[in-house]
Amino acid sequence: MITQLNTDRTLNSKAPAAQPSPVLEYLQQLHTEFAPVKDGKVATYIPELAKANPDWFGISLVTTNGTSYEVGDSRQQFTIQSISKPFVYGLALEDHGRPHVISKVGMEPTGDAFNSISLEPGTGRPRNPMINAGAIATSSLVVGKTAQGRLRRVVEMMSRYAGRDLSLDNEVYRSESETGHRNRAIGHMLRNFDILTTDPIPSVELYFKQCSVSVTAHDLAVMAATLANRGVNPITKQQAIRGEYVESVLSVMGSCGMYDYAGEWIYTIGMPAKSGVAGGIIAVLPGQLGVAVFSPPLDARGNSVRGIKVCDALSRHCDLHILNRPNPGETAIRLKCTGAELSSNRIRTPEESQVLHQGGSRIHLYQLQGNLHFATAETIVHDVMSNLDGIQHLILDFKKVLTVNESACRLLHEVLLKFAALDRIILFTHADHLPLLRRYMKVKLGTRYSELFRSVPENDLALEWSENRIIESSLPTRKDDRPVTRGHYELFKNFSANDLIAIAPLLQRRTYQQGETIINAGDDADELYFLARGGVSVFVPLEGGGRKRLATFTRGMVFGEMAVIDRAPRSAMIVADTEVTCDVLSTANFDGLGTTHPELKIKLLENLCLVLCRRLRMVNRKLSVFD
Amino acid sequence: MITQLNTDRTLNSKAPAAQPSPVLEYLQQLHTEFAPVKDGKVATYIPELAKANPDWFGISLVTTNGTSYEVGDSRQQFTIQSISKPFVYGLALEDHGRPHVISKVGMEPTGDAFNSISLEPGTGRPRNPMINAGAIATSSLVVGKTAQGRLRRVVEMMSRYAGRDLSLDNEVYRSESETGHRNRAIGHMLRNFDILTTDPIPSVELYFKQCSVSVTAHDLAVMAATLANRGVNPITKQQAIRGEYVESVLSVMGSCGMYDYAGEWIYTIGMPAKSGVAGGIIAVLPGQLGVAVFSPPLDARGNSVRGIKVCDALSRHCDLHILNRPNPGETAIRLKCTGAELSSNRIRTPEESQVLHQGGSRIHLYQLQGNLHFATAETIVHDVMSNLDGIQHLILDFKKVLTVNESACRLLHEVLLKFAALDRIILFTHADHLPLLRRYMKVKLGTRYSELFRSVPENDLALEWSENRIIESSLPTRKDDRPVTRGHYELFKNFSANDLIAIAPLLQRRTYQQGETIINAGDDADELYFLARGGVSVFVPLEGGGRKRLATFTRGMVFGEMAVIDRAPRSAMIVADTEVTCDVLSTANFDGLGTTHPELKIKLLENLCLVLCRRLRMVNRKLSVFD
C-alpha cells in the first residue's frame, strides 16, 4: 500500500517528509475506516473486469491550487468506464457548441438505471448523456476524419485532464466489444431515430474504447480537479476544455451522473459526480477540489460501495455540499481608506499638508481582492454608491484581484459613467493582469476610453495625482520654478539674517539635469542637500525588477540628511525629477559648525528633529490604516 | 409601476436618491426587455387565479448582505402556491430530522409533471417533496396540536423568511379547496400506503392553505436570500431555519424544483429554484443572493414565462451558474510575514534588535480572512506545513475571518498537535468572535487545552511574547531590575564623565508605581524622561473603547521627547508597566543648556536624531509589509 504526499505544489520539498499533512492523515483515516467493508460485488459482465482484486482501495484528493493527496492503491490502473462520459460530452460541446449537442442529447434525469435506453418519446433523443444511449450519441459527435483520429482526440483530451499520456487497456476493450450487444442495439435504435445519421457501429466502438482508457485514482482526481478549476489542469496549468463548457459538463454530472441514485447523491453528498463499473468514482467541488476513489466492489446500482462511503464521509466531515456555501460578506473590499489617512509618498509642504488634511478625505482608495463576479462586484458598487456624496476621486486597486468576469466589468463600467456624469474621477491601479477589464472598457467606452479609463501603475501615483488636483483647486496656482531663498529652507527655520550670512560660505551651490542621479545606493554619506529649485525622488530597487518610490521632495526641503546622523552608506538612490538646484553642506562643514557656530548647529539639529518627527507621524498614520 | 432602491443596508440614506445603483438599472433593463413578451397563459384552474392581470411583472434581487433591489410590480400581492413546498419541507426537517422525513418522501427527480402522482413502486413513498404528492406528505409532517396550530407554525415560519407578517388569501384558499379533488385523491392514496397514518384531509387542507399565503416578489426575494444566507434573513438577521437543513431544501429545489424542466433548468440557469402557478418564481445562489420574479402568464409546464426569461438572462449576464465558481486561490491567507519584518511595538535595545534581526524570521504571522472551510483551511495548512522547517512561533490572526466551520477547526487542531510534538508554538489572535473554534479545541484538546490553545487578544502582544522567547534563548538572562547608570541612556551616548557631571544637576529623579499614569493626553509638554529602571507603555484610546499600545520603552530609553521638539500638548498617555525610576529634564533646563553647555546640547540633539531615525526605519519596515 502506498501512502504518499505528492508535493507538486511544494517548492520546499524537504519539509513535509517527517510531518505528513493533516489532510493526508485524514484521508488515511478514511481508508482505514472503510477498507474492512466487504459489501458489494466486482462487476462480472465482462471477464476482464471480473479479474479485479476486491481489496484494491485508493483515494486521491487534488485541490484547484494543485496540491495533491493520495492514500492506498491510488496508483493502481483500472479502466475509466462510464467516468469517460462527462469528459467526452465536454469534447462534443467544444466540437459543435451547445445547441447542436442538445438537439442530439437531452439533459433531463430519468430516475432509471445506467443501461436503460430512455429515449424521448417522439424525437428518440436520449434523455441525457450519462446513460449509455446518450453517451453513444455523444461519442458520435466527436469530430475526426477517421475512427483512429476520433479516438486519438478523445485520448488526448483525457490526457490533458490527467496531465499525463493515457492509453487504452486493449484486453478490456476487446472484452467490452465482444459482449456489447445491448450497446449495439442502442446504437441501431439511435440510428433509427436519426440521432445517429451514419453507421452506428463505429460510434459504439469509439464508446467501448473511451471506456477502456486506463487510469488511476490519482489521474481521476486530477481530472476532477481540472473540472473544478474551470477546465485548467491545476498541476500542469494546461487548458483541457474551454471554461465556458465546464458548467454544462458538471450540470449533467450533477443531475444525472449517478443514474437512479442522482437525486439522493446531490441531497446527501452534494457534489457533481460520476462513477464507472470498474470501481472508479469522481466528485467535483467547483472552484475548490476534485476527489476520486477506486474500489471495485459495486452496489446494486453499479456504484463503488467504498467509493460512495468515502465521498459521503468526506462531504459530511468537510462540509463539501455545493449548496452549503457561506456568505462571502464584503470580502471583495480588502481595505478602504481616504487620502487623509493614506497619503502619497510626495512629501508635502506644511501649507499643502494643511489642504490635504481636509481635502484628502475626498480621495477614497478601495483595495479590492479575490474573484470579482456579480455578487462581489455588487458589494463594491453598493458601497461606492452609498458613499457617493463624499467621493471626488475614487482609486480602485486591483492588485489582489484574481479574476474579473464580464458582469463585474459591466457594473464597474456603469459606475465609471456615473462618476463622469458627476464630474468625478475614477483611477484604476494594478489592473495590468486583467486584460478583460481593459478590453471591456475599450469596447464599451469607445472614444471616451482614454478619457475615462485612467489606469495608473500604482496607488502612490494615483494618490499623488489626486492630491495634486485637490491642492491645485485650493491653493493659488504658483507654477513658480524660481529657486527659493535660503530663508525658506525647512532646516533654516528661525535662522536670522546673520545666521544665513554665517552659513553661506559653507554651502556649495550645485545643479542637476532632469533624470540625473544625485545619490547612488552604497555611496558614502558625506553631504546634506537643501533643495532650492525642482524636485527629487528617492527610489529603492524592487525584487521583481523595477523600482519603488519612497519619497519625493520639493524646494525648501532637505534630503540626504542621514549623512549627518548615522553616516552609514546611502541606502537608496536619489534622482532629479526636474532640473534641480541644491545647496550642499558637507559633513565636514556640518561638524565644524559645532565649534565655530554652536548656536547655528543647535538650530539646525532642532529643525532636523522637527522634520524627522513630521515624517514619523506621517508614516505612523499610514501604518494605522493597515491595522 | 414602482422602481425603487430599497436602502435597508444603506446607512447614509441621502446618497443614492439621484444616482440609482447600476444593479437596479440593470434589473430595469431586463424589465423593459421582457415586459412586451406576451406568451403564456394565466392559470385558470381556479377562478381566483384567473383574475390575475397578465401584465403584472415584478423583479426583485436581494443579496446575502441584505441589499435589496426591485423593479416593476415587485410589491403586488399574489399567492405563493408551490413555492411554499421547499419552505414547508424545511420545517418538516426541523420537526423530525432528515431520516424520518426521507422515510416518508424521497428526493429523486421524476421527469414528470407537477401534478403527477409519482409514488415509488412498493413503498408508495412520493418520489420527491416538490410534486404535489410529496408536498402533501410533507405538510402532514408539520408538528402541531391542532390544524390551526400547524397552520400558524407554517405561516410564522414563512414570515421569518420574509421578514414581515404574512397572511392567507382566503379567497384563493376557498377556491383551491373547492376544486382540489385530485389532491384529495393523492391524500387518500398516501393514506393507503401508510405514508399518511391519519385522516389525510387535514393535511390536504393545510397544503391548500400554505399555497394560499399571500406574498410579493420582494418577499420572495428576501425568502430566497434567506436560503442563500444559510437560513438567516439577511435584513432582519432572524434565523428562519436551522442552517444544517438549508442544503437539503436547496437540494430538492435543485434536482426537482422545476418539475420536468429541472434538468434543463440546472443546465442552463444553474440555480436551485421553485415556481408557483400564480406566476412567482424564486432562484437561489447559495452564499450570494436570492432572486424572485412575478409574472402570471405560464408556459405549458406551469412555469412563469417572463420569470424563466429573466432568470435565464440574469444567469447568463451575471454568470450565476452554481457550478461555475472561480478558484478562490489562496485568498484565505490575507498576509504573511515574519517577525523580522513586522515587530511588536516594544522598542528594543540595539542588542535585542540584533538578535531579532536574525531570530525574528522564525516568527511567522499569518493573517487569515474570509470563511474558513475545508478548501480554504487546506491552503493555510498546506502553506504552514510547507514552511514548517522555518517556523518556531506561528501566529494565526483571525481578525478578518468571517466564519470557521468544523472541518477547518479539525485541520487547525491537527496542526496544533504537530507543532506541540515538535516543541513549537502556535498563538491565536483576534479569535474571540469564533466561539466554535474555542469550543472545538476545548473538546479535542481536553486537559491540554490551556497549554496548547494560546489565544492572545492582538498581534502586537503575540509578537512581543514570541520575540521575548527568542531573545531569552539568545541573550544571557539578565533579570536585573536595578537602575542603569546615566552613561547607559541612549541620549547620553558619547557623553564623557565630565558631561555626565555637568548635566546631573539639571536632572530630577522621580519614581512611579506600577500602573501609574506618567503623562496624560492633553498635558503640557514640558519634560523629557530618561528611563533608569522599569518599563512604560504609550497608549491611545480606540474608537470602539479600549486602548491601543503604540510603544513600550525599557530602561536606558528616552520618552516624552516631543516636549523638546515641537512642544505641542501630549498626544498620548504614558503609563508605568512596572515600578519605574526616571530622570526628568525640564524643557527650561534643556533650553538653558544651549547657553551654558552648547556642546552637550549638540550631543543630545544628535543622539535624538539617531533615535528618531531608528524609529522611522522600524515603522517604514513595518509599512512595507502591507504594501
Task: Tell me the per-residue pLDDT of A429-458, one tens digit each, with 9 for 90 and over.
Answer: 999 999 999 999 999 999 999 999 999 999
Q: What is the pLDDT of residue A9?
A: 42
Q: pLDDT band at A5, cuts 50/70/90?
A: very low
The more confidently predicted of residues A120 and B74 is: B74
Pairwise CB contact (< 8 Å): B108 & A322: no
Q: What is the pLDDT of residue B447?
A: 93
**What pLDDT digit, counting tens, does each position of B193-229 carry?**
999 999 999 999 999 999 999 999 999 999 999 999 9
Chain A closest-CA separation from residue B145 CA (Å): 30
User: Where is average pLDDT lowest: A475-489, B407-421, B426-440?
Assistant: A475-489
**Cβ-based neighbour number of residue A496 at 10 Å:** 13
Contact residues, chain B, for A620 at CB < 8 Å? 550, 619
Q: What is the pLDDT of residue A367?
A: 96
B255 touches chain A (CB under 8 A): yes
**Exposed e or buried b for every residue in B215-238, given b needs 16+ CB within 10 A?**
bbbbbbbbbbbbbbbbbbbbbbee
Contact residues, chain A, for B67 at CB < 8 Å? 378-379, 382
**Cβ-based neighbour number of residue A242 at 10 Å:** 12
Chain B closest-CA separation from residue A479 CA (Å): 31
Extract the C-alpha cell encoding A38.
466487504
Chain A closest-CA separation from residue B288 CA (Å): 6
* A150 DSSP β-pair partners: none
> Which residue in chain A is spatially nearest to B313 when comparing CA positions?
A407
CA gap B532, B404 in Å, rounded: 47
Strand order in the sheet with B2-6: B2-6, B68-72, B58-63, B289-294, B280-285, B273-275
Q: What is the pLDDT of residue B114?
A: 62
Pairwise CB contact (< 8 Å): A389 & B321: no
Pairwise CB contact (< 8 Å): A65 & B285: no
Q: What is the pLDDT of residue A19?
A: 74
Q: For residue B332, give the nearest of B364, B374, B276, B295 by alpha carbon.
A: B374
A82 is catalytic: yes
Strands (E), B129-229: 167-168, 213-215
Q: What is the pLDDT of residue B361?
A: 95
pLDDT at B13 over 50: no
Q: pLDDT band at A480, cuts 50/70/90?
A: low
A173 is catalytic: no
**What pLDDT digit, counting tens, does each position of B609-626 carry?**
999 998 898 888 888 888
B418 is catalytic: no
B591 touches chain A (CB under 8 A): no
Mean per-residue pLDDT for A238-252? 96
Q: Do B397 and B459 touch, CB atoms closer than 8 A?
A: yes
**What pLDDT digit, counting tens, does each position of A583-606 carry?**
999 999 999 998 999 999 999 999
Extract the C-alpha cell encoding A219.
489521474
Strand order in the sheet with A535-541: A517-519, A573-576, A535-541, A547-554
Q: What is the pLDDT of residue B2?
A: 36
pLDDT at A11 over 50: no
pLDDT at A477 over 80: no
pLDDT at A15 over 60: no
Given A69, A245, A259, A512, the catalytic residue = A259
Q: What is the pLDDT of residue B5?
A: 41
Q: CATH assignment of B486-625, given 3.90.1580.10, 3.20.190.10, 2.60.120.10, 3.40.50.2300?
A: 2.60.120.10
Pairwise CB contact (< 8 Å): B331 & A247: no
Q: pLDDT band at A113, cuts 50/70/90?
A: low
Mean per-residue pLDDT for A83-99? 97
Mean per-residue pLDDT for A233-249? 96
**What pLDDT digit, counting tens, does each position of B243-281 carry?**
999 999 999 998 888 767 778 888 999 999 999 999 999
A97 touches chain B (CB under 8 A): no
Residue identified by cell 441514485 is A261
Mean per-residue pLDDT for A212-217? 98
User: Which of A89, A98, A325, A624 should we substitute to test contact with B (largest number of B Cβ atoms within 10 Å)?
Assistant: A325
- How would you classify the pairing of strands B167-168 and B213-215? antiparallel
The more confidently predicted of residues A20 and B184 is: B184
**Exposed e or buried b for every residue in A88-108, given b needs 16+ CB within 10 A?**
bbbbbbbebeeeebbebbbbb
Chain B closest-CA separation from residue A280 CA (Å): 22
Mean per-residue pLDDT for A213-241? 97
Mean per-residue pLDDT for A402-410? 93
**Cβ-based neighbour number of residue B485 at 10 Å:** 11
Q: What is the pLDDT of residue B171?
A: 93
The more confidently predicted of residues A567 and A362 is: A362
A277 is catalytic: yes
User: Where is average pLDDT lowest: A46-50, A146-150, B70-74, B596-600?
Assistant: A46-50
Extract the C-alpha cell encoding A187.
446504437
CA gap B183, A300 in Å, rounded: 34
Q: Mean pLDDT in chain A?
A: 91
Q: What is the pLDDT of residue B3?
A: 37
Q: pLDDT band at A111, cuts 50/70/90?
A: low
Where do the domains of chain A lie? 2-318, 333-474, 486-625
B313 touches chain A (CB under 8 A): no
CA gap A359, A241 in Å, rounded: 51
Q: What is the pLDDT of residue B113?
A: 64
Q: What is the pLDDT of residue B423?
A: 93
How many CA atoms, within 13 angstroms, populate the side-chain half-sphere of residue B352?
A: 19
User: Where is average pLDDT lowest: A323-332, A607-616, B283-292, B429-438?
Assistant: A323-332
Element holding A459 (H helix, E strand): helix A459-474
Q: pLDDT band at A422, cuts 50/70/90?
A: very high
**What pLDDT digit, counting tens, does each position of B169-179 carry?**
999 999 999 98
| Touching B: A residues 390-419, CB under 8 Å | 402-403, 405-407, 410-411, 414-415, 418
pLDDT at A211 over 50: yes
> Which residue in chain B is spatially nearest to A399 when comparing CA positions?
B627
CA gap A279, A79 in Å, rounded: 9
CATH class of residue range A2-318: alpha beta
Supply the ipTM of this predicted assembly: 0.88
User: Where is average pLDDT lowest: A539-553, B269-283, B396-410?
Assistant: A539-553
Extract the C-alpha cell encoding A166.
493515457
CA gap B61, B66 in Å, rounded: 10
**What pLDDT digit, counting tens, does each position of A293-330 carry?**
999 999 998 899 999 999 999 999 998 999 988 888 88
State phi, psi for B3 to the nearest 5 degrees: -125, 110
Q: What is the pLDDT of residue B115?
A: 64
Q: Do B186 and B123 touch, CB atoms closer than 8 A?
A: no
Pairwise CB contact (< 8 Å): B612 & A609: yes
Residue identified by cell 448582505 is B65
Extract the C-alpha cell encoding B237.
438577521
Pairwise CB contact (< 8 Å): A407 & B263: no
pLDDT at A17 over 60: no
Residue identified by cell 522637527 is A610
pTM for the whole structure: 0.89
Mean per-residue pLDDT for B296-307? 94
Q: What is the pLDDT of residue A330?
A: 81
Angstrom distances, CA of residue A571 to CA of A523, A538, B408 = 8, 10, 44
Angstrom distances, CA of residue A556 to CA of A514, A531, B28 = 18, 5, 57
B277 is catalytic: yes
- How would you classify the pairing of strands B425-429 and B454-456? parallel
Contact residues, chain B, for A22 at CB < 8 Å? 381, 385, 410-411, 414-415, 418
Contact residues, chain B, for A255 at CB < 8 Å? 109, 255, 262-263, 266-267
CATH number of B333-474: 3.30.750.24
The more confidently predicted of residues B17 and B492 is: B492
Mean per-residue pLDDT for B88-93? 98
Given A85, A104, A274, A601, the catalytic residue = A85
Extract the C-alpha cell encoding B72.
416593476
Q: What is the pLDDT of residue B204?
A: 96
Sign of CA dihedral B379, B385, B389, B391: positive
Extract the C-alpha cell encoding A28.
488515511
Cβ-Cβ contacts under 8 Å for A616 (sequence gap 6 or more): B612, B615, B616, B619
Identity of the residue in A14, A251, A260 whose CB atom sits nearest the CB atom of B270: A251
